[in-house]
Amino acid sequence: MLRQYELVERVKAYDPDADEDLLNRAYVFSVKAHGSQLRASGDPYFSHPIQVAGILTDLELDDKTIATAILHDTIEDTVATQEEIERLFGPDVGRLVDGVTKLSKIETQTESERQAENLRKFLLAMSNDIRVLLVKLADRLHNMRTLHHIPKEEKRRRIARETMDIYAPLAERIGMYGFMEEMQELAFRHLEPEASDMITQRMARLRETTGANVHRITSAIEGVLRSRGIAASVTGREKRPYSIWRKMQARQMSFEQLSDVMAFRVIVDDESDCYRALGIVHGRWPMVPGRFKDFISTPKSNGYRSLHTSVLVGGEAARIEVQIRTRLMHEEAEYGLAAHWAYKQGKDGASAREAYPWLEDLLEVLQDAASPEELLENARLAMFQDQVFVFTPKGELYQLPGDSTPVDFAYAVHSDLGDSCVGAKVNGRAVPLRTRLVNGDQVEILKGKVKSPDPAWEAFVASAKARAAIRRHVRHKRREELLAMGAKLLDAVAGRLKVALTDEIMGPALGRLKLHDRPSLQLAMAENRLTDEEVAEALVPGAASRPSRARSARAKAAASISIEGLTPGVGFLLCDHCRPVPGDRIVGVRHPDGPISVHVIDCDHLVDESGEWLDVKWGAETAGAAARIAVVVHNQPGALASLAASIAAHNANIVGLALKHRDREFHTDLVDIEVESVTHLATILTALRQLQAVVSAERVRL
């Protein structure tokens, strides 16, 4: 652990004007406040904030940030208060400490709610002063370095998963690749210990056989550049186990099939030398097609700049990755925002939103989240994705997540443009909105007069901003439908009671129901949170004691209804041809002389239906429905038994079975199974396709 004078000397070494008294007082206060508290490792607790401060001195941060690091756990883990911190160390340090402080654990909240609320508060504080993020990242990095001391494996995995999903992407977003890579590596050891050990062992064996090659290749690159008049520093390094594992997973390759596990970094004096060095390297060794990326002319959204290429070297044609950058680019790549921190230019930390526009988008996305789970999903989408670069017709450059579509582009330009999007042109040609964009595309959005995003877009958009906006529109539309339904139900109750819904009647009734206004009452009735009897009793005390055949019939219908968008009590039938199941996009058709029929939106029989189309969707309480699948199996003993066993293992019930046709080698069975949702059905189909006896398994319609 750093001693008091050592920490102060570190700060004074790079900032002679630092407030030495502030640092000394913060050190002493933290030691006294934490007292005899111990960490899981058995070390004194105050060693943790001191080590966090030490990490930040390596980034040469200002004295207030270092003091914040020293004090960051005092409010949560000791009797110290924010008012006391502000009084002793000033309002800036008090504000920063409050931004870093975690929320107290509330036992009634779920884990996802605690994590989501912590993230929301943290991001809001970070948007006001990015130094909050720098301290938090250093705090999480040191916690990850000591995570192995925590005895409970479940807790270690939870912290590691949170680090991988939230904090490592945040570090990447502000260009702090050193922090990002170390956090990912430490989390990987706890999340995938067997894979981590396997790759580490194989890298050790590879190092024994290729150590000389690294030195030889380094010398060869330096030599060819020097011969052409470019002074360069060249270093070779192994890729980290997590990076190798992720590439193995993405490409479905074994370790032995990977060829570019070594990366070489070329550091030159200026930007023009970067491109000269690239030309010399490509002239000396064959380039691997499709592996060149120019992040100097088009930097990443976090400011990262460098040239990346892969070439084949040596007689064995080994593939290596080469990164070419200047010394300034290298410093920014290692430490990101901290490499040119605002205080060095005499500014404060309040320019985070200007410096990082993605932060403003992320905050907008988080505000649109309807649940903790959705908030965390949106945060991961927004922070941890590959990028694609596209242009507007005027030549403005936009960076989007990989696999983005014109809809993602429209929302990236402006939320209103996304809501009004009706079509798109890519490179001058009209394309479907689900078209995947590639680097260099020029995108033009065709705008309609009405703001009405299609709910189906959510199935193919890639950006969190687009997904959140579509979900927000769907929620608003559903609210409007529920309000309309609730208004009809309320009018029906008032009609039976023969009362007018005047302010004199509604005011006392809302008070009895503990609701604020009439829309709240309509929503409660539409969502079955209030019964007709309860509303009648509130409108006319004593009315609920009267028998009501209408209400009992409605209650019976409501108990079995599984489709939202229909008036409770109205009968409906699921189409026997398309057999919709929960998760399918559905539509209802009202017939003048029969019940409403419910179809999958692309059902072939819809063209023969005559009647009014209704906008409906599955209710939250839907228990499931029967789907029909066609399974082609080998004509061999036990084939049908293995099929039935697999379906049963996935908690599905066979309700119908028919042999469609049979020949010498194969037979095709039509199987009706009860499933909970489209996702449940997809899981069953995937499992069936893995069976040795099964040739194919597909969902079918008549």
Q: What is the 3-state secondary structure (H, E, C) of 127-163?
A: HHCCHHHHHHHHHHHHHHHCHHHCCCHHHHHHHHHHH
Interval 30-51: pLDDT, tens: 999 988 888 888 888 889 999 9
Nearest one of 145, 192, 187 to 168, comparing CA atoms: 187
Query: What is the Cα–Cα distance from 445 to 484, expressed in whole angstroms?
Result: 33
pLDDT over threshold 50, residue 342: no
Query: For position 55, what pLDDT does the model report?
Result: 92
Is the Cβ–Cβ distance between 598 and 588 less than 8 Å?
yes
Is residue 209 scored above 70 in pLDDT?
A: no
Structure token digits, residue 388: 């694609």
When the candidates are 3.40.50.2300, 3.30.70.260, 1.20.140.10, 3.90.550.10, the CATH number that belongs to 625-699 is: 3.30.70.260
Contact predicate 584/570, CB 8 Å: no
CATH class name, domain 4-191: mainly alpha
Q: Which helix (H) or strand (E) holds 449?
A: none
User: Do residues 673 and 684 touch, judged by C-beta distance below 8 A?
Assistant: yes
Question: Does the active-site annotation cover 269?
Answer: no
Q: Is 584 a catalytic residue?
A: no
- H or E segment and range at residue 422: strand 421-426
User: Quick one: which of 443, 364, 358 has its CA closest to 408?
Assistant: 443
- Residue 410 pLDDT: 92
Superfamily of domain 355-452: Beta-grasp domain (3.10.20.30)
Mean of pLDDT values over 219-246: 89
Q: Residue 355's pLDDT band (boundaries 50, 70, 90)?
A: low
Give CA angle at 49 (48, 51), nearest 5°.
Answer: 65
Least Cα distance to 617 among 477, 432, 416 occurs for 477
**Is residue 459 within 8 Å of 428, Cβ to Cβ?**
no
pLDDT above 90 (res 478): no
Rg (CA), the chain: 31
Report the percent of the chain where pLDDT is more than 90.
Answer: 19
Q: Which pLDDT score, from 0 to 100, does residue 357 have?
A: 55
Six token digits for residue 337: 């925002």
Query: Domain segments of the chain: what residues?
Result: 4-191, 194-338, 355-452, 472-560, 572-618, 625-699
* The pLDDT of residue 551 is above 50: no
Average pLDDT of 70-82? 87
The active-site residue out of 15, 20, 77, 537 is 77
Mean pLDDT score of the chain, rounded to an integer?
Answer: 80
CATH architecture group of domain 194-338: 2-Layer Sandwich (3.30)
Six-digit token string for 209 = 């056989």
Catalytic residue (one of 76, 222, 534, 672): 76
Query: Locate tokens 């080469």: which residue?
Result: 322
| Half-sphere exposure (Cβ direction) of 48: Cα atoms closer than 13 Å | 27
Do 319 and 329 contact (CB within 8 A), yes or no? no
Contact call for residues 400 and 408 (beta carbons, < 8 A)? yes
d(CA 648, CA 651): 5
Residues 344, 337 contacting (CB under 8 angstroms)? no
Average pLDDT over residues 391-396: 82
Token pair of 380, please? 């991961």
Asked whether residue 61 carries a pLDDT value surpassing 70, the answer given is: yes
Parallel/antiparallel/unpaired status of strands 572-574 and 596-600: parallel
Provide the 3-class DSSP secondary structure of residue 430: strand
Contact 469, 453 (CB under 8 A): yes
Tell me which DSSP letter residue 437 carries: P
Distance CA 530, CA 539 (A): 13
Q: Is the pLDDT of residue 629 over 80?
A: yes
Quick one: which of 207, 208, 268 has its CA closest to 235? 268
pLDDT band with cut points at 50, 70 and 90 for residue 409: very high
Record the tokens describing residue 679, joined without a space.
């996702």
What distance in Å separates the CA atoms of residue 526 and residue 256, rounded to the nearest whole number? 60
Predicted confidence at residue 546, as pLDDT, reads 52
Ramachandran angles phi, psi of 519, nearest 5° = -55, -35
Helices and strands per DSSP (H, E), number in the chain = 28, 20
Question: Which 3 state secondary structure label does DSSP give 291?
Answer: coil
Measure the CA–CA gap between 132 and 99, rounded to whole angstroms: 6
DSSP-assigned letter for residue 613: E
SS3 (DSSP) at 440: coil
Spatial distance between the Cα atoms of 514 and 610, rounded to a whole number of angstroms: 45
CA–CA separation, 136 and 155 (whole Å): 19
Tokens encoding 481: 């439908």
Query: What is the reported pTM?
Result: 0.54
- Percentage of the chain surpassing pLDDT 70? 81
What pLDDT is attached to residue 550?
A: 39
